[in-house]
Amino acid sequence: MKFSSKIERCELSPMRKFHPYALAAEAKGHKIYHLNIGQPDIETPKAFFDAVHAFHQPVLAYAPSPGVPDFVEAVRGYYDRLGIRLNEENILATTGGSEALEIVMACILDDGDEILVPEPFYPNYNTFIRVTGGSIRAIPTRPEDGYHYADRAKIEEMINEHTKAILVTNPGNPTGTVMTHEEMRLVADIAKERDLFLVSDEVYREFVYGGEPLATMAEFEDVAENVIIIDSVSKRFSSCGARVGMIISRNREMMAQALKMCQGRLCSATLDQIGAAALYSVNPEYFAAVREEYKARRDTIVEKLSAIPGVICKCPKGAFYLMASLPIDDADSFQQWLLEEFEDHGDTVMFAPGEGFYGTPGKGKNEVRLAYVLKQTDLERAMELLALGLQAYNAR
């Protein structure tokens, strides 16, 4: 039997592919400090659970395909507070931001189409794009430049007859890069001038640490037909297990096409949407406290990494990730060794090897993405383990 050539072009997630090795390490009694996946340990607001517990309908029925009305209205109200006026037809509920991406790519890409994405990028973009028959054309960046890519000449030289869209993540995963307002405007202008879709993944919007105002590509009214926002409650409210995301666009035809997919998968989970709607009722103090906590964690991990000989990293300005170059030849081999052969008092550490975050072959082999989602004491221990592991690995 033959499998789809499109799915065979896809790779396993670098964040999850070492899971079997982690299970084996845990079976030996080892404790693993997980910096490989963006799963925060911040408590989910109680409002989510209260809303679910208060659900007393006699039948757990299908939700409307576009979304539970209370959830759609909660999202509309949230964007209204950002100064963005949306109608209910501008919002489609999805099963997490992942399904939102999958649906959008299915709507805008055909076989042979290309989408411009700055590298390093979230690796699952490859999966969602490749199964459509499309491909990523990577916009190169440099850590020395803070991974910034909003340069007109750099972007325009990548555009060709196959280009259908530009995909940006702001704040960035895996780099933590935050676009300035001028950079956002520049990318929006290019999309408008070249008649391209501009897909803006904004699931980390709240996590900016330099006092920047919350930003969205939706604020540029003149590119409303081009812009498609990917959003989610997963990271904003530390509710990754509530698989609720959304597609937001004022492009009516695009939303009409996306609705076909939403109807085809029937609906996103009813109870999850009910809980997610309640999350938008939390007060601004919640975000202020969470932001300060992540900023402290960021400062800790950057300080600890900077003290390890041979490690190169830049201080990220947003999200809760950073990319770091390690004094090794192959991060995949190092990660496997950490899980199979290394332990310190029964402890070891996991990260996401960097090569899978790049579209350019050969790049990122000695880089890693670290998610600073653990509490301070655990984060400090994880950095100690990384330093000890590097020393032992290079002394073999």
pLDDT digits (tens, 9 = 90+) for 311-355: 999 899 999 999 999 999 999 999 999 999 999 999 999 999 999
Instruction: Enter the pTM of the model.
Output: 0.94
Residue-level pLDDT at 33:
96
Confidence of residue 11 (pLDDT cuts 50, 70, 90): confident
CATH class of 5-42+285-394: alpha beta
- Provide mean pLDDT across the span 193-219: 96
CA distance linking residue 247 with residue 255, whole number of Å: 8
Q: What is the mean pLDDT of the chain?
A: 95
Highest mean pLDDT among 32-46, 155-169, 359-373: 155-169
- Reply yes or no on whether the pLDDT at 143 is more than 70: yes
Q: Strand 91-94 vs strand 31-34: parallel, antiparallel, or unpaired?
A: unpaired
- Provide mean pLDDT across the span 251-276: 98
Closest CA to 132 of 4, 263, 6: 6
- Provide mean pLDDT across the span 176-181: 96
Residue-level pLDDT at 357:
94
CA distance linking residue 237 with residue 194, whole number of Å: 36
Locate 224 and state its tokens: 């409303």
Residue-level pLDDT at 10:
85
- Provide mean pLDDT across the span 100-129: 97
**Residue 310 neighbours by CB distance under 10 Å:** 11
Domains 5-42+285-394 and 46-279 share a fold: no
Residue-level pLDDT at 84:
97
Confidence of residue 15 (pLDDT cuts 50, 70, 90): low
CATH of 46-279, one of 3.40.190.10, 3.30.300.30, 3.40.640.10, 2.170.8.10: 3.40.640.10
Domain residue extents for the chain: 5-42+285-394, 46-279
